[in-house]
Amino acid sequence: MQNLWRDEDAARYPGDLGLRVYTSRLLGRDRTLVLHGGGNTSVKLVERNRHGEDEDILYVKGSGWDLETIEAAGFAPVRLAPMQRLAQLDQLSDPDMVNELITNMTRAGAPTPSVETILHACIPYKYVDHTHADALLAITNTPGGEQYVREIYGDEVIVIPYVMPGFDLARLVAHEFQRQAHTGTRGMILLKHGVFSFGGTAREAYERMIELISAAEEFLVRRKAWSVTAPQKPEICDASLELAQLRRDVSAAAGAPMILRVRCTEQTRAFARHPQIGRLSQQGPATPDHVIRTKRLPMLGRDVVAYAQAYRAYFDAHAPHAKAPKTMLDPAPRVALDSAFGLASFGRSAKDARIVEELYEHTIDVILRAETLERYEALPARDIFDMEYWDLEQNKLKKSGKAPVFAGEIVLITGAASGIGKAATESFLARGAAVAALDINPAIEAMHQRTDFLGLRCDVTDEKATEAALDEIIRRFGGIDMLVLNAGMFAANRAVHELPTAQWREVFNLNLDAGFALMRACHPYLKLAPRSGRIVVIGSKNVPAPGPGAAAYSASKAALTQLARVAALEWGGDGIRINTLHPNAVFDTGIWTDDMLAERARRYGLSVEQYKANNVLRTEVTSRDVAELAAELCGPLFAKTTGAQIPVDGGNERVI
Question: Secondary structure of 273-336 in the HEC alphabet?
Answer: CCCCHHHHHCCCCCCHHHHHHHCCCCEECCCHHHHHHHHHHHHHHHHHHHCCCHHHCCCCCCEE
How far, in Å, CA of 319 to CA of 559, rounded?
A: 59
Strands 577-583, 342-347: pairing is: unpaired
Would you call 321 helix, strand, or coil by DSSP? helix
Cα 127 to Cα 45: distance, rounded to the nearest angstrom:
10
In eight-state DSSP terms, residue 441 is S
What's the order of all strands across the beta sheet hosting 335-338?
259-263, 342-347, 335-338, 299-300
Cβ count within 10 A of residue 372? 17
Residue 147's contacts (CB-CB under 8 Å, 6 or more residues apart) are none
Q: Are 604 and 614 in contact (CB under 8 A)?
A: yes
Which residues on adjacent β-strands are paired with residue 457?
Answer: 439
Measured distance CA(598)–CA(16) in Å, rounded: 62
**Which of 24, 239, 225 is closest to 114 using CA atoms?**
24
User: How far is it, in rounded angstroms, from Cα 225 to Cα 374?
Assistant: 9
Instruction: Confirm if 433 and 410 have CB atoms less than 8 A apart.
Output: yes
| C-alpha to C-alpha distance for 300 and 272, rounded to whole angstroms | 8
Decide: helix, strand or coil at residue 357: helix
550, 542 contact by CB (below 8 A): yes
Q: What are phi and psi of 493, to 5 degrees?
A: -60, 125
Q: Which of 153, 206, 525, 553 is catalytic?
A: 553
In 3D, which of 188, 180, 174 has the Cα closest to residue 84? 174
553 is catalytic: yes
For residue 232, count other CB atoms closer than 10 A to its CB.
12
Residue 575 has a CB neighbour count (10 Å cut-off) of 14
DSSP character for 259? E
Per-position b or e across 433-443, b if 16+ CB within 10 A of its CB: bbbbbbbbeee
- Cα 248 to the chain's mean position, in Å? 19
In the DSSP assignment, the letter for residue 491 is P
Cβ contacts of residue 276 below 8 Å, gap of 6+?
A: 371
Catalytic residues: 553
